[in-house]
């Protein structure tokens, strides 16, 4: 009976790592892309680009950025680094975008 429990416990760990990596790619990638869109839009608007053009360009860059970080999150060796880069990077870009926006007003 204990052999069955050990086998199921050992098969649970890889599944948990895979689920965490997929969550990092999807949710962490979204956070990173959101920060990238906000920062790109704010910087392009600060550079005197029309708001709608800046918004569209930011969305395109964010889409490409999301694809890149999604693939990187799946392929990266260390999951803790992936979570750190995506969450801290996304938050830092969002804060930077907020600072740029506050200087424009």
- CB of 59 closer than 8 Å to CB of 5: no
34-76: pLDDT as tens digits: 999 999 999 999 999 999 999 999 999 999 999 999 999 999 9
Mean pLDDT of the chain: 91
pTM of the model: 0.84
Q: Say if residue 8's pLDDT is above 90.
A: no
pLDDT band for 14, please (50, 70, 90 cuts): confident
Q: Is 59 exposed, middle or buried (CB count within 10 Å of its CB: 0-12, 13-18, 19+)?
A: middle
**Pair of tokens at residue 42:** 């704010």
Any idea which residue has 């949710």 for tokens?
A: 27
pLDDT band for 98, please (50, 70, 90 cuts): very high
Helix (H) or strand (E) holding 89: helix 79-104
The single-letter DSSP state of residue 77 is S
Name the percent of the chain lying above pLDDT 90. 82
- CB of 38 closer than 8 Å to CB of 92: no
Say what the pLDDT of residue 92 is.
97
- CB of 73 closer than 8 Å to CB of 48: no
């Amino acid at each position: 009976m204990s052999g069955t429990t050990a086998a199921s416990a050992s098969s649970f760990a890889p599944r948990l790592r895979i689920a965490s990596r997929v969550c990092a790619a999807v949710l962490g990638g979204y956070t990173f892309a959101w920060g990238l869109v906000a920062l790109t839009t704010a910087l392009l608007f600060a550079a005197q680009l029309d708001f709608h053009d800046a918004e569209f360009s930011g969305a395109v860059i964010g889409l490409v950025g999301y694809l890149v970080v999604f693939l990187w999150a799946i392929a990266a060796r260390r999951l803790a680094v992936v979570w750190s880069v995506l969450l801290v990077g996304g938050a830092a870009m969002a804060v930077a975008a907020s600072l740029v926006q506050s200087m424009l007003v």
